[in-house]
Structures are given as C-alpha cells and as structure tokens.
Structure 1
Amino acid sequence: MLIVLAGATGRTGRRLIPLLTAAGHGTRALTRSGDPVPGALAHRCDLTAASPGELDAAVAGAGAVVWLAGPGGGPVESAEALDNTAATALMDACVRQGVPRFVLVTSKGTDNPERSPDFLRPYLEIKAKAEAHLAGTGLAWTILRPGGLTDEEPSGRVELGKGLGRGKVSRGDVAAVVAELLGRHDLSGGALDVIGGEHTPAEALDALAPRLNIVDFLFDLERLGRVHLAVFGGSTGEAMAEAKAHFTGWQVSPRYVNYFEGPELHFSRSTRWRAEFGEGPGRHSGKQEYWVMVHNELGEGVFRFGLLRPEGSENHDPALVAAFHAFREHYPPPPS
C-alpha cells in the first residue's frame, strides 16, 4: 500500500518510514523542499501554500495518509495555518481523490482544551478543530493523541485508550503504533491516547478491538435460527457460496450484494473482524429490527446480519429475540 506522509522529515516521521518499508508499504514523503528523503519518494508540497490541485496530486493513488506535521512551536497563527487549515485541506483532498484512510497524530488534551494551561490551550483548540473536521469527512479515520513526546529509544511498550492519565511516550513508539494501525481497520472511527506502557502496539490494539474468529462466529450465529444476510463489499462470490452451502436457514439479500466496489470478501480464520450489535427502528421499514454488523479489518467490506420475522408477521419471534440477546452477551463490545 502507498502511504502518503505529511511530516516525513520530522523526528517522528523519520522513525516511521523504515517501519512502513519493513511492513511492505511504499512511502510518499511530502516536503517543502523536495529534497531526497531516505527510504521514501520525496514529493514537493508546501502544505500551507498548496492549491487544491497540488494537494490532489500529493495524495493521488494512496491507500492512506498519515499526518505527523507540526509547527514545532511558534506563534498561534503558524499553528492555525498548518495544524488546522493545511491539515483539513489535505483531508478534503483525500475525499476528492478517494483515499480511504487518514491517520491524524495530534496531542493529548485536545478532547478538553479548557483544562490545559493558558499558554497551551489555543494550540490544542486548533488541533481539536482539525480532529472534528476529520470525523466529518466520511474517511476511515483514526486520531492518535500522544502524551509528552521524547526522543528516547523506543521501548516497544505503550498504553492505548481513552482518557488515559498523564504520561510520556517516545516518538519511536508513536511511529510503531501508527505502523500497526495502518495494517488493520478494526479501530477506524475513533481517537486514542497513547503513552508509554507495558504492551506492544499490537497487544494494546487487540485489547481495544479483540480478534473475532469469523468462522466460529458464523456457526454460533446460525444457532439463532432464521437470519437475514446482506453483504456490502466487492466480489462476494466466496462469501455467498459459503453462506448458501452451510447456512441454509439464512435469507440472502441480493439488493445489497456488491453494493460497494472492492476486493473479495472471505471467511478467513486469520483475519480480524469487529462486531457491532444494534436494535431499534429500521432505517427503511421503521419496524423494530435486531442486527449485527461485522467489519473486516482489511476494509474489504461489511456483513450485516438481521433477524427475520415469521412469515406474515409484523413482529419477531420472542424466542429468537431472546436468543439474539444471549448471542450479543457472548460477544461483548471492546472496552471503551
């Protein structure tokens, strides 16, 4: 995958590039000078002065963009120009160019700038504006909020979560978290604090979004009874063949098959998945619905499973609803 890196020549960016290379990614490094960047393809782009067309060219063809740029101190006006205006313009370029993923590295405290010292508050408020803009873009996004950054050698151990206490973290460890995030999609759509801790980045991320063995999950789901399946993804032949062969009590919804372009969905035991349960009025029917959405970490698509009503009935079978709730308890959500 091609990764576009804003802030590639900074102290964290320089540590991230070799990790991306080791993971098999290519890196396009955005720099004001266009000078060579070891391990990456340098692309000249002054983020604070680039036109929309120049930003489009900077992110074209990328699978993800990582924002590590920062003014490194200086006046508030400089921070506004880079951390908000330039960052949000790059996000918008990703939307225009169909870049699916954006990882934004900001700072701990952006969720509550008012609690920060007066000298720091305006800088956190600027970063918070960029975070809010990213959340509204429709991209698959993740925000990382490091604690106090150090240039110490990485320990390989971090703590990830929401509302973590005060702490420091090495730039190398932040880079390792970013590299791990880019290999998985099971934590898109959220903001995470990162400080030094006791777990590898992979372990820390797994604790927030545990592995879901999709094959066992599907056979557990079959025990519920009649289930409605809709597949959002690309070429879903393998998935549909598996469903029809093994889950004869399911009803497949052709309306939603191949709804999005993308690679083939599959039932691999080795791929991480994330389950989201829900119940309430259906978006289209307005009737009470019970469903589970299963997201593939590779971004390949989504399975949506919903309970079927008995033929001719406006209501679900109470026994089936009870089974759904029991099933839901068996797959609790990741810790918040």
Structure 2
Amino acid sequence: MKITIVGGHGSIAMLLHPALRERGHEVRGIIRKEEQADDLRVAGAEPVVCDIEQTADISDAIGQADAVLFAAGAGPGSGAERKWTVDRDGAIKLIEAAKKNGIGRYVMISAMGTHRPRGNEVFRTYLKAKEEADEALRNSGLDYTIIKPGRLTDDPGSGRVSLGRQLERGEIPRADVAAVLAEVLEMPETAGLQLDLVSGEQPIPEAVRAVANMG
C-alpha cells in the first residue's frame, strides 16, 4: 500500500515508518520543518514539508495513497489554541484532502476519555479538540478506524495489548501503539470502529483480528 502519515516526525510515526516499510508499504510523512526530513529518510519514509496549520488545502502534500493516518499533535508544551488548530483542524483538513484525492481509508490516533474532558484547562481543551476531530471523521463517510490510546509511555513495547470499546483507563508504550496501527492499516475489516487501547495480555495481531470481527 501507499500510506501517507500526517505528523510524520512524531514519536509514534517515527516508530511506525520502519515497521510499514518492513511490511512492503510505501510511506510518505508530512512534516512541518525541512530539518526533520533526513530523520524520515533514515526511518524509511518519503518526507514532504507542509505546515498543516498554515496550509488551507493539504491535498497536494497528501498525494495519492491507499490510506492516510493522522498522527499529528500540538504536543504537551503547547497552549490551548494549538489544540484546535492542530489536533482538530489538522484532522479535518486531512479528511477534506482524502476526499479530494479519492482516498477512502483513514486511521486516526485519538485519545481515551475524550467524551469526558478532565485535567487542567489545556488538557480539557485537548480532549475536546480530539472529540470534535473524531466526530468529524465518524461523520465523514470515509472508511475510518479511530484508535484511542491510554497514557503514552516510552517503555519498550511488550507486543501485548487490550483493544476494545470502553476500556478502563491505563497506559501503553508508544511502540505498541505503532505496532497496533501497522496491523490496523492492513486490516480493512476494522473500518467503522472506534477502539480504546492500553497495555494488556493479548498479542497485538490477535487483538486486532478479534476486534475486526466486531465490525
């Protein structure tokens, strides 16, 4: 497949690029800064510079693909305003670009608990922005899968997760999130699903196959 990833220099995306290349896929990574390009090339992705906050129509950057993945985020150090312009508006721009380019498959990295915003003002805004992005994707008519990880860690991946609807809150290594996304992208049967993701006991391929049967 040809897969375009928005947020191509993010922590999860940088783990995902080599995994997708090993599976034989072509990967394009959308990045904000030219100086990030070499990192993507080393990871096996074709870098394309496009600031999704400043660009109204990102369809040229997205190009032709079999699937797109939204992995962008304003990041923990950003203020509330950028939660709207990146986490929500960027995701919506990718919906519009996918439709314009005839791309039917869209996978989203969201977050657990978006329907119940909590924490300080910035984190509540982040969850609200994610929820609005999720809603836009659910109503887009695209073949979507929304993956909602728990608290992200940089621990080594275990290869075992819990994946399903309305799970108890928990945490998960970014490496395991990337591994789940690689499986989901190859499994169109997961379209139409919104799934929580935390560390667990089920091997990742088995967990993804199990939820595919829920659709």
TM-score tier (shorter): over 0.9
Name which structure has the greater RCO, CA cutoff 8 Å, separation 6+. 2
Q: Give the CA deviation at 1:77.
A: 0.2
Tell me whether 1:99 sits opposite 2:120 in the alignment.
Answer: no
* Secondary structure class of the residue paired with 1:12: helix
Which residue of the partner structure matches residue 293 of structure 1?
none
Which residue of the partner structure matches residue 57 of structure 1?
60
Which residue of the partner structure matches residue 175 of structure 1?
178
* Secondary structure class of the residue paired with 1:29: strand
| Deviations, residues 17-65 of structure 1 (Å, cap 9, x unaligned) | 011001111110101123221211111111111131xx11122211111
Q: Give the CA deviation at 1:206.
A: 2.0
Tell me whether 1:80 sits opposite 2:88 in the alignment.
Answer: no
Larger radius of gyration: 1
Identity of aligned residues (%): 36
Which residue of the partner structure matches residue 186 of structure 1?
189
Please report the TM-score for the alignment, with normalisation by the length of structure 1.
Answer: 0.60
Q: Trace 1:1-336 onto structure 2 (pairs within 5 A).
A: 1-34=1-34, 35-36=37-38, 37=40, 38=42, 39-52=44-57, 55-73=58-76, 74-113=78-117, 116-119=118-121, 120-210=123-213, 334=214
1:192 maps to a residue whose letter is: L
Which residue of the partner structure matches residue 284 of structure 1?
none
| Deviations, residues 88-115 of structure 1 (Å, cap 9, x unaligned) | 01111101110111111011111333xx
Q: Give the CA deviation at 1:118.
A: 4.3
* Secondary structure class of the residue paired with 2:84: helix
Contact residue 59 and residue 99 of structure 1 kept, 8 A: no
Contact residue 83 and residue 125 of structure 2 kept, 8 A: no
1:71 maps to a residue whose letter is: A
1:91 maps to a residue whose letter is: I
**d(CA) in 2 for partners of 1:144, 1:196:** 13
| Deviations, residues 216-245 of structure 1 (Å, cap 9, x unaligned) | xxxxxxxxxxxxxxxxxxxxxxxxxxxxxx
Question: Counting helix residues as a fraction of each chain, which structure ranks higher?
Answer: 2
| Deviations, residues 237-263 of structure 1 (Å, cap 9, x unaligned) | xxxxxxxxxxxxxxxxxxxxxxxxxxx
* Secondary structure class of the residue paired with 2:146: strand
**d(CA) in 2 for partners of 1:206, 1:182:** 12
| Deviations, residues 281-318 of structure 1 (Å, cap 9, x unaligned) | xxxxxxxxxxxxxxxxxxxxxxxxxxxxxxxxxxxxxx
How many residue pairs end up in the alignment? 208
Contact residue 60 and residue 97 of structure 1 kept, 8 A: yes
Q: CA RMSD of the aligned region, Å?
A: 1.3
**d(CA) in 2 for partners of 1:117, 1:94:** 33
**d(CA) in 1 for partners of 2:131, 2:196:** 14
**d(CA) in 2 for partners of 1:101, 1:170:** 25
Contact residue 60 and residue 99 of structure 1 kept, 8 A: no
* Secondary structure class of the residue paired with 2:10: coil
2:31 maps to a residue whose letter is: T
Which residue of the partner structure matches residue 326 of structure 1?
none
**d(CA) in 2 for partners of 1:207, 1:64:** 22
Structure 1: 5+ residue runs without aligned partners? Answer: 211-333
